[in-house]
Structure 1
Amino acid sequence: MQFITSLSCLLFSWSFIAIGVEFVAPVLKERPVVEPEETLNILINHDTIMMIITLFCAAVFIMVMYGRWLKVKLAFQATTKQSFIDSLLANTREAIWIADKDREIEKINTAYSDLFGLEEDEIVGKCFKVYNDEGRNYEVENIIWQEVVKTGFWHGELWTYNKDNQRISIDMSVTRVATSQKVTGQVEVKYVGMMFDVTDRKHNEQALHQLATRDQLTDLPNRTLFIEYIKHSISTIQPSLPHIAVAFIDIDNFKKVNSSIGLLEGDEIISMVAVRLEKQLDSSISIARLGGDEFALLVPNVLCGSNPIVYIEKVILDVQLCFKQTFRIADQEVNLTTSIGVAIYPTHGTKADALMRCADTALNRVKISGRNDALIFDHVMDDITSDDLNIESELVGALNNNELSIHYQPLFHSKEERIYGFEALVRWNSKTRGLVPPGHFIEIAEQNGLIRQVDFFVLKEAFSAAQRWYDKGLMRGRIAVNISSVNFQQAEFVCQIKELVASINGNCKLIELELTETAMMIDAPTVAKNISILKSMGFTIALDDFGTGFSSLGHLKQFDIDKVKIDRSFIHEIEFNEQDRNITSVIIQLAGHLNIDVVGEGVENEQQAYLLHVMGCHHLQGYLFSRPLPEPQLMEYLKELPKTLPNVSQRMNIGR
């Protein structure tokens, strides 16, 4: 800066000297040409010398004054800039720290002090450290600084501690800032960190995960987490120990027991069964409560060994031993028996759902045979599985012979008392089988690759119906179409959607695409990109069956979801089951904070609708309002809306 000032002054001085020369030149030109010996007399002419001296002094004076003015101006600008930076740091809600090239803290703001309980003199001059709550300080620091050195930026979330040793979660970014000094030309490196306190959000996510993966009564893993355990065991199987076993346990005639002793006492028995199983069985066996009076076991490969039947028989005896002792509840003695069904990997299936289906089939065979027994699955039992190949071939014919049709289920807005959308549901009326359950043939279609044809058939029909209804003035909101995770993970899926829309001139603003949590978790960057493209086309995106998988709020924000649909398993007994109410309430509250709409699926009675309404879930779907209807019947339903909706609202007792 001093160099620039000196240079500016020098140029200014030369400018005035040049002006002086221009002024003096005419004077000299007026003089007659003289001989060389007269030159000295001319140069020392008094007037000329005085003029030159005056101009020179003026130039020097201006140079000095300009230099001082420029110095004051630059100092004022620097002070103003620093004041602005100080004000910005003091008033921002984000915790900010600035470190030098050696990573020593130079400055922190008020938000940093508030977050960690540290004053500026306690941290300035010290190297920036990461205090990870898992004791991996050095490892985490290395990861951060390696990334910052490599790319100039790092961002992530981590758990740490404040001055009072309270555990907090922070969202932190570290940026490398390099500036060139104008005077010396040297590059000055600093590091700027910005942190947000996300502790509350993390606690909410953990609470939701706990509610979604644990049974509230017994604290055992629930069905969702148990399936993940099976998948993990399969993925880590060893060639030398190739077997795992899945067992389903059902308490015989437990509904009658519940009716005779009471629901609370029945819950106490369930808790006692869980405790007995944990005490009796090997600690490496995973125990889960699937719901009601049904438990499940996952026997790992280290216990199954090379001959799993031997150890499974021991497990069966241990389980039966848990039920031989009388249960004492409220001065009553209750004697119980149990039925057990077992499936073995890989003999009976190589996927989690196949093993669970086989174990359930074996359990059902025990119940049919009289209960109080155990059976290991045999393929002879699996009538449904043996029929899958026939259904597969018939489904191909159904697609070609127009046996598939679409039914539409209205979605009701409880607060505004109106229909605000529909869900398109595929139906198969087979010429030989009659109505085939969607859950069965959809699963087969996903396994054999026919699901693309099924999904695009539904999507095409939905586009056509939406346009027809729109033209008639009967369209309400959007038509939601389920998209299989098998399709969504295909790289060409979005291109195929674009081709379909172009071929039928479809209006994407009338369609909503429903994805499952499985689809979201396949490849996060690709999923986020696909969703962004689909939304730019005009689609809205809904997350179906929410609460049964492992989606976090971070994922919801990352994927820019418009709507979540609470899985019907939480709604089915919401008026009786406190755990279901708690899970549902948490989902509604957290989605509300993210400005994401929530839909309650499977609403079958007024009490369920009322509970969802008072919790803040006003988008409802279920048999209470309407079953899925073929298009002609739906048109009649829509024409009768002014007559039917007030009655629905009164039955739901929204105003009470």
Structure 2
Amino acid sequence: MLDFTGRINAVTAEEESMSNKSEFPDNPACPWVNSGEDAHLYLAVLLQHVPVLASVVDSSGEVLFASRFHTLLAGVADNLTNIHQEADLYPAFVQERLASLKQKAMENGSEQYWELSAKHKDGSLHHYQMRRIVMNADPNSGSKAVAYTIGVDVTENKLAESALRDHKSQINYVTFHDPLTGLANRSLFYDRMHKSISRAKRSESSLAVMLFDLDRFKNINDSLGHDAGDAFLKQVAKNMQDELRDTDTVSRLGGDEFVVALENISDILDIESIARKLLECLAQPVIVQGHEISCTASIGISVFPNNGDSIDQLLKNADTAMYRAKAAGKNRFQFYQSAMSDTAVNYLLLENDLRRAIDQNELCLYYQPQIDLSSGRIIGLEALVRWQHKDRGMISPIHFIPLAEETGLIEPLGDWVLEHACERFQAWLEQGVNLGKIAVNLSTRQFRQDKFETSVHNILQRTGLSPEYLELEITESSAMENAATTIDMLKCLSQMGLSLAIDDFGTGYSSLAYLQRFPIQKLKIDRSFIHDIDKDTQESAIAKSIIDLAHNMSLEVIAEGVERPAQSSWLNERGCDQVQGFYYSRPLSEKQLFDLINDSERVIRDEQGIRLLL
């Protein structure tokens, strides 16, 4: 074993016996097989230096050869001269495994695979992929039965696989859970509801959807600040979970709006009992930052299948019932009834008003600057639509964008925004004001409309804006909805010369195989991963992963929702290219935008552009 002219010769005889049985005896890739003793000497030296556990033992367990790497294992002799039996090659806990291998070799065959996890003498844990081949005795040649064992150290692979699993698990959790409360987010809620409705249909049972909205929650934020509001929402989420069954789904849809799905409900009285219990729970005072806070809730309830057979229909009807509960005085629950016509009429009136607003140019655009982190210069603007209703005042896009999507008005609304954004940006260029690019966010329905690329081309022709100044943003979920079709559309748009970005990145479920085929230039990190980026390790890990992913794909990355200096510093240190958010500027009307860029105390204008002074 140690003496290459002595014990190694015993191995040589067995190797020759095996080589004679080789399936490829004349293989020119193995010229050493018949080249004499020197080749076997070289092989022995090689096995002593290749970092593997290598050994040859005979049927009695005597070691004929062993590589020096066995001596690295804890519990094994430091010198090969002290190793005689196969049991000496491994730590004591492996002996039972060796006995089992020998028994199985006799019963099932001559080749075996197994894994060994053992500590080295330096205390490090290593993982080996072991392969054992038993060669039976040959009476004709007089050779004895021997077992050849090779163990390859796969520790780094194991660690990489474990890290990847942890990373995927973390991304999966963040993707499907609300970052503030840890509750299921909208995506996970929809996934669970699809399954719940399928089960209810099969069993012909009912399920209830309860939509919660906290009454006067805005007062908490306004009086105590957003940190206090967030702390209160966390406690509300915990209290709701404590009151419900494990089989019930609790989700935060956004802001102070929660939804609960109750399965296996057979009696309306059971739903009422749960609703009352939740109202009592939510009305209990909560201590936040030394203040005792009480906040009631209004609950709207819809029941499958009576009030709808789809998730959207159930949510819509629960929302209608919730607003009826608020109108009735808050701190109560209300079941949906088809006779709630006043809400439906109000909805119809708002739809008609939006249609008129689009036709009669009653909408307006606001612009939020996008900043290059390394220089502080404005490199683009995101165009945001606003609706100043003549009677209702300023209506939030949160309310009229979903209305536009549901009624089909999103297509003319989207075209209005795109055309007016291009028209205004071209007008500024003609005045000598270059703010980089104008970014316009596309809705799913707008992006999927027939011949959308022709519509974009016509708008550019009418406004005279060169494509290089236009950037279109599509959400990650929109892009992945029909990835193959998305690729074709994006290629058409890219060939025009305009820029493309994936918005809200990290909130959907992207396939990297498709993502790398998208002809895009930028990824936009969703604001949900930025909120506590300088405090929360989960959010920071995801944001850093997105930054690295973008750069590895030669893409730029922009973070939205930057509201504090600490967030900006964190992103700058991790290599984020661009940012936008209230820390730099709120969305501005055209007048406010020009007031900003003409204010010498707030910006520096030179040949290289416009730099903000913070």
TM-score interval, normalised by the smaller of the two chains: 0.5 to 0.7
Are positions 1:285 and 2:248 aligned together? yes
3-state DSSP class of the match of 1:226?
helix
Q: Does 1:213 align with 2:179?
A: no
Shift of 1:479: 0.5
2:191 aligned partner: 228
| Residue equivalent to 1:449 | 408
Deviation string, structure 1 residues 463-515 (Cα, Å, up to 9, x no partner): 22333333333212211111110122234222333344455554211100011
Which of 262, 276, 284 is matched with 2:242 structurally? Answer: 276
CA drift of 1:368 comes to 7.1
Q: How has the CA–CA distance of structure 1 residues 271 and 496 changed in structure 2, closer, same or farther, with 3 Å as cutoff?
A: closer
Seen in structure 2, the aligned counterparts of structure 1 residues 538 and 292 have a Cα distance that, compared at 3 Å, is closer
Contact 2:472 2:500 in 1 (8 A): yes
State which of 386, 391, 396 in structure 1 corresponds to 2:355: 396
Is 1:623 matched with 2:586?
A: no
SS at match of 2:494: helix
- Give the structure-1-normalised TM-score: 0.58
Q: Which is higher, the Rg of structure 1 or of structure 2? A: 1
Q: Secondary structure at the match of 2:423?
A: helix
Task: Summarize the alignment of residues 146-157 of structure 1 with structure 2, pairs less than 5 Å apart.
Answer: none
Do the aligned partners of 1:205 and 1:552 also contact (CA within 8 Å) in 2? no
Deviations 1:140-177 (A, max 9, x none): xxxxxxxxxxxxxxxxxxxxxx99699979xxxxxxxx
Task: Kindly indicate whether the alpha-carbon contact (under 8 Å) linking 2:426 and 2:464 is maintained by their aligned counterparts in 1.
Answer: no
Cα deviation, residue 416, structure 1: 0.7
Change (3 A) 1:396 1:269: closer
Name the residue aligned to 1:494.
453
1:509/1:292 Cα in 2 relative to 1: closer, same or farther (>3 Å)?
closer
Matched residue SS, 2:603:
helix
Work out whether residues 205 and 553 of structure 1, in 8 Å CA contact, stay in contact via their aligned partners in 2.
no
TM-score by length of 2: 0.61
Q: Tell me: CA distance 1:351–1:470, structure 2 relative to 1, closer, same or farther (3 Å).
A: farther
SS at the partner of 1:316? Answer: helix
Residue 462 (1) aligns with residue 425 (2)? no
Q: Are 1:247 and 2:206 an aligned pair?
A: no
Q: Check if 1:376 corresponds to 2:296.
A: no
- The equivalent residue for 2:441 is 482
Residue equivalent to 1:412 = 371
Displacement of 1:304: 3.5
TM-superposed CA distance for 1:256, in Å, is 7.9
Deviations 1:334-378, CA, capped at 9 Å, x for gaps: 999876442334555555455445545655665676766443244
1:298 aligned onto 2:297? no
Deviations 1:201-239 (A, max 9, x none): 665444222112124677542333113333554577638
Q: Which residue is 1:423 aligned to?
A: 382
Note closer, same or farther for the CA distance 1:435–1:364 as it changes in structure 2 (3 Å cut). Answer: closer
For residues 397-454 of structure 1, what are the alpha-carbon distances to aligned partners after superposition, in whole Å with 9 as ceiling and x for unaligned?
2233222332322212232110000111223334444433333232222222222222
Q: Which runs of 5+ in 2 are unaligned?
A: 1-27, 32-126, 134-151
- Supply the distance in 1 between the matched residues of 2:419 and 2:451 (Cα, whole angstroms): 17
CA shift digits 1:579-634 (9 cap, x unpaired): 55554444334434333322222334434434443444342222333333333443
Overall identity of the aligned pairs, in %: 33
CA distance in 2, matches of 1:323, 1:635: 47
- What SS does structure 2 have at the residue aligned with 1:408? strand
Q: Are the structure 2 counterparts of residues 366 and 427 from structure 1 closer, same or farther at C-alpha, using a change threshold of 3 Å? A: closer
> Equivalent residues in 2 for 1:10-409 (5 A)?
204-215=167-178, 220-234=183-197, 238=201, 241=204, 243-248=206-211, 273=239, 276-277=242-243, 281=245, 283-290=246-253, 295-300=258-263, 303-304=264-265, 309-316=268-275, 319=278, 340-345=299-304, 347-348=306-307, 351-353=310-312, 355-356=314-315, 358-359=317-318, 362=321, 373-378=332-337, 385-409=344-368
Q: Secondary structure at the match of 1:526?
A: helix
Distance 1:297 1:475, change over 3 A: same
Higher helix share: 1
Match for 1:406: what amino acid?
L
Alpha carbons of structure 1 residues 121 and 588: separation in structure 2 relative to 1, 3 Å: same
* Counterparts in 2 of 1:592 and 1:637: CA distance versus 1, 3 Å: same
Secondary structure at 2:239's aligned position in 1? helix
Amino acid at match of 1:458: V
Is the Cα contact below 8 Å between 1:600 and 1:619 reproduced in 2? yes
Instruction: Compute the displacement of 1:537 (Å).
Output: 1.4
Amino acid across the alignment from 1:542: A
> Structure 1 166/603 Cα, relative in aligned 2: closer, same or farther at 3 Å?
closer
CA contact (8 A) 2:603 2:613 kept: no
Match of 1:640 among 564, 588, 599: 599
Aligned partners of 1:564 and 1:596 also within 8 Å: yes
CA distance in structure 1 between the aligned counterparts of 2:179 and 2:398, rounded to whole angstroms = 28
Equivalent residue, structure 2, for 1:609: 568
Identify if the C-alpha distance between structure 1 residues 242 and 486 changes in structure 2 by more than 3 Å, giving closer, same or farther: farther
Cα distance change on mapping 1:390 and 1:642 into 2, 3 Å: same
SS of the equivalent of 1:415 reads: coil
Query: In the alignment, residue 435 of structure 2 is paired with which amino acid?
Result: R
**Does structure 2 conserve the Cα–Cα contact (< 8 Å) formed by 1:208 and 1:586?**
no
Instruction: Show CA shifts across 1:507-535 (max 9, x none).
Output: 21110001123321221100111112211
- In the alignment, which residue of structure 2 is the partner of 1:568? 527
Matched, 1:591 2:557: no
Q: Deviation per CA, 1:51-94: give whole Å up to 9, x if none.
A: xxxxxxxxxxxxxxxxxxxxxxxxx9xx9xxxxxxxxxxxxxxx
CA distance in 1, matches of 2:386, 2:583: 20
CA distance in 2, matches of 1:551, 1:350: 29
Cα 1:378/1:421, change in 2 over 3 Å: same
Q: 1:166 to 1:237 in 2, by over 3 A?
A: farther
Distance (whole Å) between structure 2 residues aligned to residue 442 and residue 336 of structure 1: 29
Relative distance call for 1:201 and 1:456 in structure 2 (3 A) is: farther
Residues 612, 221 of structure 1: alpha-carbon distance in 2 compared, 3 angstrom cutoff:
same
Amino acid at match of 1:596: L
Contact 1:489/1:522 (8 A) holds in 2: no
Is the 8 Å Cα contact of residues 215 and 331 (structure 2) preserved in structure 1? yes
CA distance in structure 1 between the partners assigned to 2:418 and 2:295 by the alignment? 51
For structure 1, the 5+ residue unaligned runs are 1-75, 80-115, 123-161, 170-196, 652-656
Matches within 5 A, 1:519-598: 519-572=478-531, 580-598=539-557
Secondary structure in 1 matching 2:583: coil
Say which SS state the counterpart of residue 507 (structure 2) adopts: coil
